[in-house]
Amino acid sequence: MKTIDASHGEGGGQVVRTACALAAMTGEGVRLVNMRAGRRPPGLAAQHLTAVRAVAALCDAEVAGLALGAREIVFLPGRIKPGEFRFDVGTAGSVTLVLQALLPAALCAPGPVRVTVTGGTDVRATPTVDYFQRVFLPLLARTGARASLRIVRRGYYPRGGGEVELTIEPCGRFAPLRLEQAGALELIEGFAYCANLPGHIAARMANAATARLAGLRVRIDTRVLGRTEAFGPGGAIVLAARTAHALLGALAVAERGVPAERLGELAADELRPEIESGATLDVHAADQLLVYLARAAGPSVFLARTLSLHVQTVCWLLEQFLPVRFRSSAQGALSRLEVMPA
């Protein structure tokens, strides 16, 4: 069993989620110490606890020390099994981060997995469900992984209560991604949504994003998503830029006191430098895809505006579990990362 100092690098929840996913995938037990040591409050919050429980249920793991606020756990995985699972974060903690923990292992199950997660669907500083569905999953599909997300109900702070259902097909080995250049910009799509707020909020977000990106001289196709049942007021906008070879995402989540127009502009201002830099993965997709690329059938490569601390930390963690090497270099103003599984 290995011991991982979960305060290394970025030192947040992602180290915990990824370490449990890797333990499940490799069958090797892990002791995680100093979990979220630098966060206030430190230790596991509801979202992290649910994520660990979800991976544990999927692989029949024994987990010692698992509790709210825990700073140390021991995770002893069993076999990954297919089937239907249901988890409830219990707060507005992000459902997609629970899926982030579960999905790498679920794709290694010997049969289909269907998982229902209840919690927050559009949470700041996390992938919103629309980013997950329209940016992350399509990128993951390029590795041959097949998973589809159904948004049953949206849920917002403080109650959460949103529900999503992820269906995952078994996947042999992941295909590598060779994202050497973005190529010409072809289309920008936008998806705006709001719940239990005046309907014009979503339209204003979408219109402001469109106006902000007009100078790029490309077709911009933004739309307001149909309303589903939702707990609490909230909303978000996701933008997805398609180039010949890349798909780049950006988002903004509604916040009390921030005008709808400003949210559309914030998302546009996130997306624009991704497009103009020539990146082939946006800064967030980069850290989210690494675990799959590290297990791919050959070397992968991508260009990112910057290798975030999340990326650097996940690379370090992957090296603790897998026979994989990483090589980073500068390509103009971009960072190029090669992922080389043994």
Ligand X SMILES: Nc1ncnc2c1ncn2[C@@H]1O[C@H](COP(=O)(O)OP(=O)(O)OP(=O)(O)O)[C@@H](O)[C@H]1O
Closest separation in Å from C-beta 297 to ligand X: 24
* 97 makes contact with ligand X (CB under 6 A): yes
Q: How many residues sit in the footprint of ligand X (CB under 6 A)?
A: 16
Q: Say which residue the tokens 């940016």 belong to.
A: 135
Cα separation, 270 vs 256, whole angstroms? 20
Q: Which stretch binds ligand X (CB under 6 A): 10-18, 20-28, 191-199, 292-300?
A: 10-18
Indicate which residue of 8, 200, 245, 310 is catalytic. 310
Q: Detail the DSSP E strand segments found in the chain.
A: 2-5, 30-33, 62-64, 73-76, 83-88, 113-119, 147-155, 162-168, 185-195, 219-224, 230-231, 234-243, 247-253, 300-304, 324-331, 334-341
131 binds ligand X (CB under 6 A): yes
Does residue 139 contact residue 133 with C-beta atoms inside 8 Å? no
Is the Cβ of residue 52 or residue 201 nearer to ligand X in the bound state?
52
Report the candidate in 326, 330, 296 with the shortest Cα–Cα distance to residue 312: 326
Q: Which is nearer to ligand X, 31 or 284 (CB)?
A: 284
| 40 is a site residue for ligand X (CB under 6 A) | no
- Which of the ranges 62-70, 72-80, 126-134, 295-303 carries the binding residues for ligand X, by CB under 6 A? 126-134
Q: How far is the CB of 232 from ligand X (least distance, A)?
A: 19
**Dihedral-angle region of residue 232 (phi above 0 means left; psi in -120 to 50 means alpha; beta otherwise):** left
Would residue 48 show up in a list of annotated catalytic residues for this protein?
Answer: no
Tokens of 261: 């127009």
Per the annotation, binding residues for ATP are: 100, 284-288
Residues 110 and 158: their CA atoms lie apart, in Å, by 37
Contact mark string toward ligand X, 42..71, x via CB under 6 A: ------x-----------------------
Residue nearest to ligand X (CB): 13
Q: How far is the CB of 14 from ligand X (least distance, A)?
A: 3
Instruction: Give the DSSP H or E segment for 201.
Output: helix 200-213
272 binds ligand X (CB under 6 A): no
Q: Nearest CA to 123 among 98, 148, 143?
A: 98
Residues designated catalytic: 310
Sites of contact with ligand X (CB under 6 A): 12-14, 36, 39, 48, 97, 125-127, 131, 251, 284, 287-288, 310
